[in-house]
Structure 1
Amino acid sequence: MTPLYLSTLNDIEKMLSKGDFDQALSLYVTLNSQNSDYLDSRSGKMTRSRFSHIQNAANLARRDGYTRLQFMESVSPRLKKSLALFFGVEFHPFQNELQKPSFFYIPDLPSKPFYQADEVEGLTDWIVELQSHKDELLNVGKRANVKYVGEFENVPATETWDKLRDEWLSTHLLKEGKNCSAFESLSLALRNELENAPLAFCPPHAPEVFLSVLKPGSYIPPHYGISNCKLTVHIPLQVTEDASLTVGEETFNWGKANKHLVFDDSFIHSASNKSDKERAVLILDVWNPALTLNEREGITQFMSILSKWNEGAGKLMNLDRGLG
């Protein structure tokens, strides 16, 4: 350990003894950028001093994040609960044992696996308007060449998921709330239509709008989405009755009607394409209709602040995960 590193640790201990927690956190952020191994509980010998510093850094980061995002407490009782849950201040069980969002959960938010499009304001009319652009969207889907599994974090190291890398392809039109290059290549009429979509806007996590292509014989294993604050919409472009989607314990088979699907992907879900043709759908994010306008605005602000915070102190929040 270098003299500069030891000096930083000494300065941190001085700040902690004085109760200057903000400065101590700032030094921990600097320390982590200098040598992340010291604050990584998975590497090196775990001394008592190092154990304490890892716990201190994580606790100070959570304290700082909670303070920055405390405005959520005044938005609504359930967003107050979601903030406490996010930072581990309180524990709130999932309302359904089949529901387990991987990132952000809002307790007391009514939810179910499948929804009707008319439960989402403006969605039914928008889907009708989009039908005249189906051929153009399908042509974009036929050119999909990005391996969508690469968009996931912490993909399970299984043979099924590894095989899926070459079988699930995508083309993004919007990502993290921003237009992608493929969007700019669309006709003006289709671009205007997409800009009028009733999307859930909370970058960098939503909205996404993309073409999803599942090759013949493919299977997407059960997994969870990131949050119950939004729903996922699948609009069929090329489907058969041998393609299906299972959400929770309910399975939907695409039929001749080619009906669109609206579902809560915070429930465990999977998909398969047992046909000899590719399954192509347009996928987009919309708000959970139970959220009020104030709650939607609060979530948008929450995600924006959190994204910036995660570039610094937020990296320390889970350092103590796994410590005894």
Structure 2
Amino acid sequence: MDIGGALAELRQSLGSRGLERVEECLRILVGQQAPAYLHDDQEPTRLFFPGISALPWHDSSGLAWVAEMEAAYPRIREEFLALREADAVFAPFEDLYTKELGWQGWDTYQLYRNGTWREEALQRCPATRRALDTTPHGPRDAMFTVLNPGVHITPHTGGVNLLLTAHLPLVVPPGCGIKVGDEERGWEEGKVILFDDSFIHEAWNRGTRQRAVLLWDIWHPELTPVEIRALEILMPRFHRYLMAV
């Protein structure tokens, strides 16, 4: 990746102030600078943004967009259930960067990928689209996910610390749980949870019915507006670079 060229373009469109951490992120990405991880359980091995806090779990209370998302829960759940009743295709989860992470029994209905909405999802999930647009969502993925009975998503890391993962639980039977870092929690239907998936995490369904959540990512709350805009511009380049190495 041409760091000098990328920074020149950013400065031309965004100005020269506030890009210091973005430049450092780029240098870490290409190996010109070593990352300084802040927590033993954090592994942002794909993309590390310096100077932001490293917390496995983030407090979602008091965030305006969380209240709006939770208020939309009944409509989002209805759209999910309609997809299931209509036999919409839920495909096994696949990580674009590490193909070996393919858990049988963790099935997904993709809403958008790399920030681009699927036309079918736009048609079938308008309330979900409106709700997601109220959040500071990042450019990665959004999906409905189903975890089948008896399935264990083994410990892994998302590898990127500048985004947090949000869940809106839709169907949560007994026996389901998630662990991020060294803390285990459950889900409550209609209540958003927020965690940093660059920490080692796992999830399981030890019950007898499927668990379902709406999953998407948001920008780390300590990023500045100019940093977020710069990262929005850079993300397609990050993706191409990471796929090539």
Letter in 2 for 1:262: L
Say if 2:201 is the partner of 1:263: no
Paired residue secondary structure (1:286): strand
Percent of residue pairs bearing the same amino acid type = 23
Aligned pair partner of 2:116 in 165, 171, 178 = 178
Q: Distance in 2 between matches of 1:126 and 1:254?
A: 15
Paired residue secondary structure (1:259): coil
Q: What is the aligned-residue RMSD (CA, Å)?
A: 2.6
What does 1:141-156 align with in structure 2 at a 5 Å threshold?
Answer: 141=84, 143-148=88-93, 150-156=94-100
Deviations 1:213-246 (A, max 9, x none): 0110000011111311111111111112310111
Residues 133, 253 of structure 1: alpha-carbon distance in 2 compared, 3 angstrom cutoff: closer
What does 1:185-200 align with in structure 2 at a 5 Å threshold?
Answer: 185-186=123-124, 188-194=126-132, 196-200=133-137
Q: Distance in 2 between matches of 1:180 and 1:287?
A: 21
Q: Distance in 1 between matches of 2:214 and 2:96?
A: 18
Question: Max radius of gyration: which structure?
Answer: 1
Report which of the two has the higher share of strand: 2
| Counterpart residue number, 1:290 | 222
Post-superposition offset of 1:115: 1.3
Unaligned segments of structure 2, at least 5 residues = 11-15
| Counterpart residue number, 2:210 | 278
Post-superposition offset of 1:187: 5.3
Provide TM-score, normalisation by structure 2: 0.85
| Counterpart residue number, 1:89 | 32
Q: How many residues align?
A: 237
Provide TM-score, normalisation by structure 1: 0.65
Say if 2:157 is the partner of 1:224: yes
Post-superposition offset of 1:68: 2.2
Residues 110, 121 of structure 1: alpha-carbon distance in 2 compared, 3 angstrom cutoff: farther
Deviations 1:66-96 (A, max 9, x none): 2222357853433232122111111122111
Residues 188, 113 of structure 1: alpha-carbon distance in 2 compared, 3 angstrom cutoff: closer
Paired residue secondary structure (2:124): coil
Letter in 2 for 1:177: G
Aligned pair partner of 2:183 in 247, 250, 255 = 250
Say if 2:3 is the partner of 1:70: no
| Counterpart residue number, 1:237 | 170
**Residue 44 of structure 2 contacts residue 159 of structure 2 at CA under 8 Å; is this kept in 1?**
yes
Deviations 1:267-299 (A, max 9, x none): 111100000000111101111111111110111
Q: Distance in 2 between matches of 1:238 and 1:272?
A: 14
Unaligned segments of structure 1, at least 5 residues = 1-61, 319-324
Post-superposition offset of 1:121: 5.1
